[in-house]
Structure 1
Amino acid sequence: MEWQDEAIILGIRPHGETSAIVEVMSRRHGRHLGVVKGGRSRRQQPLIQPGNGVEVHWWARLDEHIGTFRLEAVDFAAARMMGQPLALYALQTFAAHLRLLPERDPHPALYEALQLLTTHFATPALVGEILLRFELRLLQELGFGLDLSCCAATGTREELIYVSPRSGRAVSREAGLPWQDKLLALPAFLHQNSRHADTIADFHNGFRLTGFFLERHVWQARGLEAPPARESVINRLCHQINVDETTQ
């Protein structure tokens, strides 16, 4: 059994005296583990770092075996991300979210989002937006997708500013007015592809929205807590955006 694919490294752990078990998110083969022989050597250390893009060659005698990786460098993103705490927290959050998925299940849209993070990690607003869109897609691929296309009460596609915490469907301004205290805020950029998040309120409301449904359907059901790095992303993101706003 063998395959080749492009991937991004999520994590590593020691294996024996000189090898390492490397966890990657690959485009066509999903989250996958493999042994890298000599992976703890000084020569291999710069390559086997979370965030780096690699070309993976995996082989094993049987499909159910963990198998062996041969990795070739494509992008040393980890070195560039090293001085960016927000990017590192976001990468840790991505990895924790991806571990909610079954190993070896392909999720190309989630891989694309991870690749976007390693490309745009130096722009705080884009980091936050990429992570939020990733969380929405993660909910969808876990079977708990939100319907933000039209109002649950009236069917209109205009002025969608709320989400029902019961149904996960969008609600318009007019229909939601009597129950606004019980509804979740829907930032415009999450349902309008032409819009981008650019305020602290956008991010607070966005993370509250995705966090509510992740808590209800995923974390709580599995006896898990939210990834600690996620809160660090929110705090640092809002701090950096506030600094940017006050210096403009």
Structure 2
Amino acid sequence: MHPLSPAYVLHSRPYRDTSALADLLTLNEGVQRVVWRGARGSRKGSGPQPFVPMMVGLAGRSELKTLASAETAGSYTLLQGDHLFSGLYLNELLLRLLRPADPQPLLFAAYQSALEALGSSAPVEPVLRRFEWQLLDVLGYGFSLTVDAWGQPLDPDARYGWQADQGLARVEAPPNAGFPGVSLLHMAADDWTDPATLRAAKLLMRQALSVHLGDRPLMSRQLFSSAKGVQS
């Protein structure tokens, strides 16, 4: 018997005759790439499906393991529209930023919570911003949203710029440079009632993540932009 671990499919692609290569986010073993035998067989629903909570057993000692067992573990909601694109975005972030075989139980829980929120048709922007922040924090790239780089409390009436090597620093010019202090404080308090907070948080998280994502564009963002008929 192989020990079972809670898991989600992050990505899969065809492999050989009827199998698939699947990237799994597992609670106990982190991100694992596995051969999913019979994934493209005739039995509907037998293959890897994203956003479905599972219990999986993995076999093998190499980097490429074999899926020994997999079963659905609990109820779930099929994501559609913006919620589906948002889920794909979360999956791509995890694949791009997590090291293989590095368990991150706090991030696994954050991912579960994000999927539950998306499945309940919650507004996507707060869900994404909250997860992005948790991802940065868990990976050691977080920074304070309540004090600046010198340990001074953020002034809600001031504006702040962000630098990867120091965090938030007050800016005086031009007048609309940086992010409003009040929006950053609302973000820290998980208060998304003000549209200005959502706008500031989206731009801030994009800046902070781009340092670690590199120049290669996110496919999920391009898919979303194509579906909406806008440029990414």
- The TM-score normalised by the length of structure 2 is 0.80
Please name the residue that 1:67 is paired with.
Answer: 66
SS at the partner of 1:114? helix
- Is 1:43 paired with 2:43? yes
Quote the Cα distance in structure 2 between the aligned partners of 1:218 and 1:225: 12
| Structure 2 residue identity aligned to 1:201 | A
Contact 2:54/2:73 (<8 A) preserved:
yes
- Is 1:144 paired with 2:138? no
- Long gaps (5+) in structure 2: none
- Is 1:232 paired with 2:224? yes
- Is 1:118 paired with 2:115? yes
Q: State the shift of 1:152 in Å.
A: 3.2
SS at the partner of 1:211? helix
Task: Report Cα offsets for 1:47-102 as digits up to 9, x if no partner.
Answer: 63111000011111x2434233411111353xx324x2111111110111011221
| Structure 2 residue identity aligned to 1:232 | F
Please name the residue that 2:95 is paired with.
Answer: 99
SS at the partner of 1:6? strand
Please name the residue that 2:58 is paired with.
Answer: 58
Please name the residue that 1:218 is paired with.
Answer: 212
Contact 1:35/1:68 (<8 A) preserved:
yes
Quote the Cα distance in structure 2 between the aligned partners of 1:180 and 1:135: 28
Moved runs in structure 1, 4+ residues, more than 6 A? Answer: none
Q: State the shift of 1:42 in Å.
A: 3.2
Contact 2:36/2:66 (<8 A) preserved:
no
Contact 1:5/1:27 (<8 A) preserved:
yes
- Long gaps (5+) in structure 1: 237-248
Quote the Cα distance in structure 2 between the aligned partners of 1:55 and 1:161: 49
Quote the Cα distance in structure 2 between the aligned partners of 1:176 and 1:124: 34
Quote the Cα distance in structure 2 between the aligned partners of 1:88 and 1:94: 10
Please name the residue that 1:198 is paired with.
Answer: 193
- Is 1:183 paired with 2:178? yes
SS at the partner of 1:25? strand
- Is 1:32 paired with 2:32? yes
Quote the Cα distance in structure 2 between the aligned partners of 1:113 and 1:160: 32
Please name the residue that 1:246 is paired with.
Answer: none
Contact 1:22/1:33 (<8 A) preserved:
yes
Quote the Cα distance in structure 2 between the aligned partners of 1:113 and 1:168: 26
Tell me: CA distance 1:211–1:230, structure 2 relative to 1, closer, same or farther (3 Å): farther
Q: State the shift of 1:33 in Å.
A: 1.7
Contact 2:12/2:23 (<8 A) preserved:
yes
Quote the Cα distance in structure 2 between the aligned partners of 1:146 and 1:161: 18
- The TM-score normalised by the length of structure 1 is 0.75
Alignment of 1:150-189 (within 5 A): 150-153=147-150, 155-156=152-153, 159=156, 162-166=159-163, 167-170=165-168, 176=171, 181-185=176-180, 186-189=183-186
Quote the Cα distance in structure 2 between the aligned partners of 1:200 and 1:207: 11
Tell me: CA distance 1:72–1:2, structure 2 relative to 1, closer, same or farther (3 Å): same
